Structure 1
Amino acid sequence: MIGGDNLIHQVNDTTTTTTTVADQATSTIQTKATTTDNKLIDLTGGAILNDKLQYFQLQHLTQLETDGYIIIDDFVGQTLHDSCRKETLQLYDSGDKLRDANMSRGDTKWNDKSIRSDKIMWLNKDTCLDLKEGRIPHISTLLARLEQLRSELNAVIPSLHLDETRTQSQLAIYPSGGRYIKHTDSFVGGNSRRITCIYYLNPGWKPQDGGELRLYMPQLQQQQQQHDNLTTTVDIEPLGDRLLLFLSEYIPHEVRPSLADSRIAITTWFY
């Protein structure tokens, strides 16, 4: 979430309601407490090629249009999840692979741990030596699986046109007390990130561990007319083997303070 991220200052004249997404034992979609028949964005134009669905269900794509996010639990299974987590901890313990996350706008970069306090490593296959030299094969397998999601979205939704040649991926580890204040991943309408995919590597996560991802849900026109000052948020628990997808341009979000020893996630952005 570096380069193009937009920090958002909190406003105090709004009422906020928060929904927590509960743990689910099987792959499923999650829904907000309040839904509407209106679409946040028309991704499909009504044309979905159902016979090409593999990782997604039709309900996933419908929810992405109406709510702006979807969740898939048990995404790759415990074996690959545990192997990826082991590799991330080895990278972290090496002492020189991850660095303090910066924020940037244009050519200006800065670091402020009161705003963002994770350590990161870029996982771009063309530049990351650990990927190129095969030292993190299980993370490589996970990234390939995520790229398959992009290919499926393009196949199922012909009008979507996600860029098949451009992807960014990043490993982020938050220490105890780490957080990232409210921000967005992309500019609306720009030539930038369109879908954010976050894969969590936190087995045995408990509510007292904190570190939820708080989504600030966009107001549809009908909701704005009814509740001018209402902000609805959804807290996503960073459970191990959970995949979260959301529309990068439309969903402001923040990482709530993490109270566990480490909070681990791998994020991939589609353009």
Structure 2
Amino acid sequence: MDALSLNDYVIIDNFLDSSRLNTLQSFFQLHLEAFTKAGIGALTDHTIRKDIRGDFTYWLDRKRDSELNAIWNLIDETLYIYNRYCFLGLSGYEFHLAHYPKGGHYDKHLDQFNNRNNRTISVVIYLNKQWQKGDGGELEIFLKDNSSFLVEPIEARCVMFKSAEVPHAVLASHKPRYSLTGWLLQQPSALGQFFG
């Protein structure tokens, strides 16, 4: 909590235990054919822009995807801790699985929309087995002093940051890159599947 408050982001290694990690990785592979091309913008502004964003997503639903209950419980706990210690007033979340194929990237952006501003904390949990330097797909986080740094997408690593305040990008992947990505919300919308 202190790191997030001070820096607007926090990086936590081994965020998932082996049981949750295996469950999520298996679920990911089982549903990979159901992923759809991700877009940018919300509702009527939603468009597919391959030049800006090259990933595919599978939006999760807690009722439908009940085999991920251990993951949902961890997200519940994370939301509770943020509310207890940071008084953020979070009341929900939306998550999807993200697949960046070889060459996939996402240009610099904020996780917020012009007509929808309820994303508060962005959460990315990497699911990449045996990621090595040179595989690409790093998260680039841009700081207030106009510098930036790279976060390697190492298996079970979690990155959390303030959605409306931390510009970031995903560098081109040189092999398939997998993650669980989502947002802790204020006044959640039921229309998560329409948003990138």
Residues 1-271 of structure 1 aligned to structure 2 (within 5 Å): 61-92=1-32, 95=33, 97-125=34-62, 129=64, 131=65, 134=66, 137=67, 139-157=68-86, 159-163=87-91, 166-186=92-112, 191-219=117-145, 231-260=146-175, 262-271=176-185
Code of the residue aligned with 2:19 in structure 1: it is: T
Distance in 1, Cα, partners of 2:172 & 2:129: 18
Alignment length (residue pairs): 184
SS at match of 1:63: helix
Q: Which of 1 and 2 has greater Rg?
A: 1
Unaligned runs of 5+ in 1: 1-60, 220-230
Shift of 1:80: 2.2
Instruction: Give CA deviations for 1:75-100 in whole Å, capped at 9, x if unaligned.
Output: 122232122112101110xx2x2101
- Match of 2:134, SS state, is helix
1:195-243 CA-to-partner distances (Å, cap 9, x unmatched) read 0011110121101111000011124xxxxxxxxxxx2102111111111
Moved over 4 A (4+): none
CA contact (8 A) 1:197 1:267 kept: yes
TM-score, L = length of structure 2: 0.87
Alpha-carbon deviations, 1:126-164, whole Å to 9, x = none? Answer: 5xx3x1xx4xx1x3321320221010111223x32222x
Tell me, in whole angstroms, the C-alpha distance in 2 between the residues paired with 1:80 and 1:65.
27
Mapped partners of 2:69, 2:28: distance in 1: 12
* Gapped regions of structure 2 (runs ≥ 5): 186-196
Normalised by the length of structure 1, the TM-score is: 0.64
Q: Percent same amino acid at aligned positions?
A: 28
Secondary structure in structure 1 of the residue aligned to 2:46: strand
Output the CA distance in 2 between the equivalents of 1:153 and 1:74. 19
Please tell me the residue identity of whatever aligns with 1:268.
G
Shift of 1:105: 4.5
Q: CA RMSD in A?
A: 1.8
